[in-house]
Amino acid sequence: MKIGVIGGGQLGRMLALAGTPLGQQFAFLDPAPDACAQALGEHIRADYNDTDHLRQLADEVDVVTFEFESVPAETVAFLSQFVPVYPNAESLRIARDRWFEKSMFQDLGIPTPEFADIQSQDNLDAAVKRIGLPAVMKTRTLGYDGKGQKVLRHPEDVVGAFAELGSVPCILEGFVPFTGEVSLVAVRARDGETRFYPLVHNTHENGILKLSIASTEHPLQALAEDYVGRVLDKLDYVGVLAFEFFEVDGGLKANEIAPRVHNSGHWTIEGAECSQFENHLRAIAGLPLGSTAKVGESAMLNFIGEVPAVEAVSAIEHCHLHHYGKAFKAGRKVGHATLRCPDIAALKAGIAEVEALIDK
Ligand code: AMP
């Protein structure tokens, strides 16, 4: 079976690394000449709205998937005429727009911060009166890794904030005084069977994920599964989806969903029986799902800007390096390390060792 992937970054690369042993082949459509997934499959170098090349991709592959959610809706609609596309167009439409996403959470009874649609500075001023400060303003689309958002703490931060974020449609959210951030990675098969990985604790720095630790028997696991299951069924979703939550007052508030394999699920390559990448491919290919059970105690640390020396990472016990083969650049995710340890003490020691390399 040949899989078409829209986007050829590290997520596409890790999909191919998981799918190759299943006998799958890959084609990536990505305009970037140095798309790092090209080492693992065919690279169709074209824009996402280039219908000639989209047609070529559709003709060559059995199924198409995505490694990012900002794919133009027309791209999905065009491809869907010729080849099955998972997740479906509706899932992408909702997940790429924070207003649709939060409205869906509300409709499904999933707690989420107070929010308002912002189309002008006047809208913003009115929303601040209703929601209060501090609040977080975010562009409705195209935001990632903390980009396209601004925390409004004082009345003077509100002045001109709509123009500052580019005078594009935004939402305003109440600021959540969270005690932690967790994510749940789930997979849903074509026949509706759904499986969940254990909840993961996430730590961000400057809006970018820095550290994920897979939990064991988290008290909020069942609640998170209930919320995520509602979304998966509502969207008739096929593939892996990640759901990010704030932990607050002993419960969960929905932040956002990603309709794809997710950075907070990278630990599953070594730390789960079947990784998020393999399970995504199994789901979209119509294969039975694999076990999401955790194997040992695992954590993932991102390498942002540069990857430490391979020798140094390899010297850490229980540590597995993933180098994406991308050019090093400040603020860019260029690799990660997974620690899979026999116990929590070994995991903590390993995290400290990797952090020491990052801070060097
Ligand atoms: P996002 O791109 O929505 O995931 O936001 C990036 C990060 O900003 C989150 O992981 C949080 O650490 C922080 N953040 C986002 N929204 C809020 C909020 N409503 N209240 C407090 N912190 C937030």
The rounded distance, in Å, linking the Cα atoms of 301 and 200 is: 13
Annotated binding-site residue? 146:
yes
Annotated binding-site residue? 193:
no
Q: Decide if pLDDT at 146 tops 80.
A: no
Q: How far is the CA of 80 from the centre of ligand 1 (A)?
A: 33
State the pLDDT confidence band at 143, using cuts at 50, 70 and 90: confident
Residues 170 and 196 reside in one and the same domain? no
Domain span at residue 25?
2-85
In the predicted model, what is the mean pLDDT of residues 31-43? 97
Measuring CA to CA, how many Å separate 127 from each of 55, 111, 171, 299?
44, 19, 9, 39
Residues 241 and 257 reside in one and the same domain? yes
Residues 128 and 189 reside in one and the same domain? no
Task: Please tell me the total count of domains within the chain.
Answer: 3
Report the nearest-CA residue for atom 18 of ligand 1: 175
- Give the distance, in angstroms, between the CA of residue 118 and the centroid of all CA atoms in the same chain: 25
Q: Decide if pLDDT at 6 tops 90.
A: yes
In the predicted model, what is the mean pLDDT of residues 258-286? 98
Tokens of 340: 């899979």
Annotated binding-site residue? 173:
yes
Q: Decide if pLDDT at 144 tops 80.
A: no
pLDDT at 72: 86
Percent of the chain surpassing pLDDT 70: 99
Q: How far is the CA of 121 from the centre of ligand 1 (A)?
A: 21
pLDDT at 79: 97
State the pLDDT confidence band at 166, using cuts at 50, 70 and 90: very high
102-119 residues labelled b (16+ CB within 10 A) or e (exposed):
bbbbeeeebbbbebbebe
Query: Which residues surround ligand 1 with Cβ inside 6 Å?
Result: 113, 136, 143, 146, 173, 175-176, 181, 204, 207, 244, 255-256
Asked if residue 253 is part of any domain, the answer here is yes
Residues 306 and 186 reside in one and the same domain? yes
Q: What is the CATH number of the domain that holds 307?
A: 3.30.470.20
pLDDT at 69: 87
pLDDT at 97: 95
